Amino acid sequence: MPRKILNPAVVTGFYLFMVAVMLVIFIVFGLRRIPDTAQHEARRLINITSLQPVSQTVVPRKNGLNTVLIFFRNPNLANTDRLIFSLSQKTGEEIRRIDLSGRNIGDGVTVRFQFPPVVDSSGRTYILALQAPDTPPSSPNPLSIGTSVEDAYPAGRLTSPAGETGDLSFQLFYSPLDKRELTTELGLLFWSRLVSLRLLLIFALAFLFSVRFLQFCIPQTPGDR
């Protein structure tokens, strides 16, 4: 009795569906941080010393702020002094703090400062501050950070050094606190990308290729073996 051969299109569709399901599960339960907002321009350097801390106001768009990335220069990895990163409320109250050594800061690298999520961070003004209490102003090898020349981040501004214009080069990330909200956002994002002509065409071609591949690999009758 001939064995019933599954339709290759059905098999391909099932595999693609399972891949999509596994991808969503991985993203929803494995994702630890998602981009929030950023200012990427770093055309000017500002030194950080004991008499010249650097600070910038930022306004996250999402709740759960938990990571800040900042661009640093440490030529020849010469600076090994202590660096203090702090996150404060607009009132000046410090809510997060991270101490690290210049030994852990490379030259021309982005340093990640990760901390417990700030649950109600959306729309609130915070102050990012960087201090080097052990680096004298006369130091030949101070740490420096990148900033824009002009105001590239309208939501915030440099508050120190006084009189400086521009904005710190930074990236904010948030930790998804509500898995249902995250699933909805990812679904909307995926759909907006899918309806674009280019991705839709790629998806269709991949589907057709998979169908043809299965038609070639799966025998149509027992006699084909």
pLDDT band at 28 (very low <50, low <70, confident <90, very high): very low
Q: 174 exposed, middle or buried (CB, 10 Å; 0-12, 13-18, 19+)? A: buried
C-alpha 74/C-alpha 135 separation (Å) is 13
199 and 145, same structural domain? no
pLDDT at 19 (0 to 100): 53
Q: How far is CA 17 from CA 14, 211, 218, in A?
A: 5, 14, 20
Residue range(s) defining the domain that contains residue 165: 34-174
pLDDT tens digits, residue range 140-198?
999 999 999 999 999 999 999 998 999 999 999 998 876 666 666 666 666 665 565 56
Q: What percent of the chain has pLDDT over 70?
A: 66
Q: Is residue 1 part of a domain?
A: no
Q: Is residue 187 part of a domain?
A: yes
Residue 75: give its domain's CATH number: 2.60.120.820
166 and 129, same structural domain? yes
Mean pLDDT of the chain: 82
Between the two ends of the chain, the Cα-to-Cα distance in Å is 15
C-alpha 86/C-alpha 129 separation (Å) is 5
Q: Is residue 223 part of a domain?
A: no
126 and 211, same structural domain? no
Q: What percent of the chain has pLDDT over 90?
A: 61
Q: Is residue 38 part of a domain?
A: yes
72 and 156, same structural domain? yes
Strand bridging mode 109-118 / 54-58 = unpaired
pLDDT band at 224 (very low <50, low <70, confident <90, very high): very low
Q: How many CB atoms lie within 10 A of CB 86?
A: 18
Q: Is residue 99 part of a domain?
A: yes
Give SS3 for 13. helix
Q: How far is CA 179 from the centre of its chain?
A: 18
What tokens appear for 66 in the block? 């938990």
77 and 44, same structural domain? yes
pLDDT at 206 (0 to 100): 74
170 and 186, same structural domain? no
- Read off φ and ψ for residue 134, nearest 5 degrees: -100, 5
What pTM value is reported for the model?
0.70
Q: Is pLDDT of 89 > 60?
A: yes
Q: How far is CA 78 from CA 41, 47, 81, 188, 191, in A?
A: 25, 14, 9, 47, 49
Sign of CA dihedral 198, 199, 202, 204: negative
Number of domains the chain is built from: 2
Q: Is pLDDT of 84 > 90?
A: yes
Q: Which of 8-22, 78-92, 102-116 has the least mean pLDDT?
A: 8-22
C-alpha 138/C-alpha 134 separation (Å) is 11
Residues forming beta bridges with residue 58, ordered by sequence position: 126
pLDDT at 83 (0 to 100): 98
